[in-house]
Amino acid sequence: MGNIVTVLDIGSSKTSVLIATLEKDQPPKVIGFASLPSKGVKKGMITNIDETMEVVASTITSAERMANVQIEDIFITVTGPNIVCQNEKGTISINSGEVTKQDVIRVIEYAKTQLTPLPTGMEFLHIIPNEFAIDSQGGIKYPIGMSGSKLEVEAHFILVPSSLIKNLSKIVQRLGVLDRGFIFSAWADTYSVMTDTEKELGATLLDIGGGTTDIVIFREGKVIYSGSVPLGGYNITADIAAGLHLSSLDDAEKIKKNLAEIYRRNESKKSIRKNQKEKNTDDDVLDISFLNIPGVDKISKRLLEEIIEARVIEILEFAEKSARAKGTTIVSPGGIILTGGTANLYNITKIINSVTKASARVAKPRGLQGMIDEISGPEYATIQGAVLYIKQEAEFEAQTEMGLSIVDKIRQWIKSVIK
């Protein structure tokens, strides 16, 4: 069956578990999947560990039943508004004239020391060497064995609250499952939805989930910003409920998820009225009677669009403010790439394009095989991307001396640096 890898994705709206097999020279194959509504989670943070653990347990059991396996360990994706990043450089002398493993450790360690002391309660989630330079010759990915006198590194650091990691680890360990590691959700997304061309051109990924929007920005193939803001699809739902005076959030969610069908039906009726030359029709009225919302058969099109546009603009403003605090912008030459459940929002790319003047596209995950029909939407970019990330980390093994590639060695060196 090959090596089995399991990923747990706990979001504000849903909790998902994916089980896949990894085979050499083959795309990961999905053999088990389950997803349930989340409990005890708000804006990516655990608010009730017992409720969250109950949902995680049920989701794992369902995925195991589908895959006909019992998992022993699991990778966990991480999100939340307190995830931050920092870009730092390190420079050292190459003692022997040729770059060694210890030189790479030292230069990454030196870059890391630029961040010390870490903000209270934070720890490293990812240390990503964007590139190395030898004697000012940049663009080097794997410098070991190269000659020179000076080694430099440009590294991207992603930090996460220690409490979040401890709580996520506690949940799976109480269920008898070992946590194998943690992956920033938006970083995982980049593996399933972004192209190398987009990264080189410079592009922004926005994962708009239920309670948070996670962000990753690339320039010239290098990740320069990672972060998260505490706004998402739930805020749009709440605004629709308040603005249209609905009695429940469920009714507002029903309208939000069925926007495309609402517009399709009303355009069809509009065409019929036009053909019949009816007069005094109100183009501002949307008929939503087919949704069977008690007491609400019609709503104002203008008001609905104003509500949705205002909140989407606010999400963009929060993301832009967060990026500008680190000296960059979400407006990118390669465009804005949307994932997460809210990427399914009708006309969201048009809103983003009109506000930012940048191209925008909704990205569906790719790269896995097997039982993928159920996880083909943008809301599953993270869990698919996490599997691809894990595969890329593992697939270089046994390709060079001692069974480890340089990529894998760097991964191990980084782990040793951040212990």
Same domain, yes or no, for 265 and 326? yes
- For 131-159, what is each residue's pLDDT tens digit? 999 999 999 988 999 999 999 999 999 99
- For 264-306, what is each residue's pLDDT tens digit? 998 877 766 665 655 545 678 999 999 999 999 999 999 999 9
Same domain, yes or no, for 356 and 405? no
Same domain, yes or no, for 295 and 155? no
Same domain, yes or no, for 206 and 274? yes
Same domain, yes or no, for 218 and 354? yes
In this prediction, residue 410 has a pLDDT band, given cuts at 50, 70 and 90, of: very low
Same domain, yes or no, for 205 and 317? yes
pLDDT for res 404: 38
Same domain, yes or no, for 141 and 256? no
Percent of the chain whose pLDDT exceeds 70: 90
Same domain, yes or no, for 261 and 407? no
Number of domains forming the structure of the chain: 2
- Is residue 207 included in any domain, yes or no? yes
- For 308-342, what is each residue's pLDDT tens digit? 999 999 999 999 999 999 999 999 999 999 999 99
Same domain, yes or no, for 296 and 413? no
Same domain, yes or no, for 331 and 413? no
pLDDT > 50? residue 402 = no
- Host domain of residue 342: 195-362
- Is residue 227 included in any domain, yes or no? yes
- For 158-204, what is each residue's pLDDT tens digit? 999 999 999 999 999 999 999 999 999 999 999 999 999 999 999 99
- Is residue 336 included in any domain, yes or no? yes
- Is residue 32 included in any domain, yes or no? no
- Is residue 62 included in any domain, yes or no? no
Domain at 120, CATH number: 3.30.1490.110
Contact call for residues 311 and 236 (beta carbons, < 8 A): yes
Domain at 240, CATH number: 3.30.420.40
The DSSP line for 152-187 is EEEEEEEEEEHHHHHHHHHHHHHTT-EEEEEEEHHH
- Is residue 169 included in any domain, yes or no? no
pLDDT for res 394: 77
Same domain, yes or no, for 141 and 244? no
Same domain, yes or no, for 238 and 125? no
pLDDT for res 277: 58
Q: What is the pTM of this model?
A: 0.90
- Is residue 378 included in any domain, yes or no? no
Place of tokens 């309208």: 255
- Is residue 78 included in any domain, yes or no? no
pLDDT > 60? residue 126 = yes
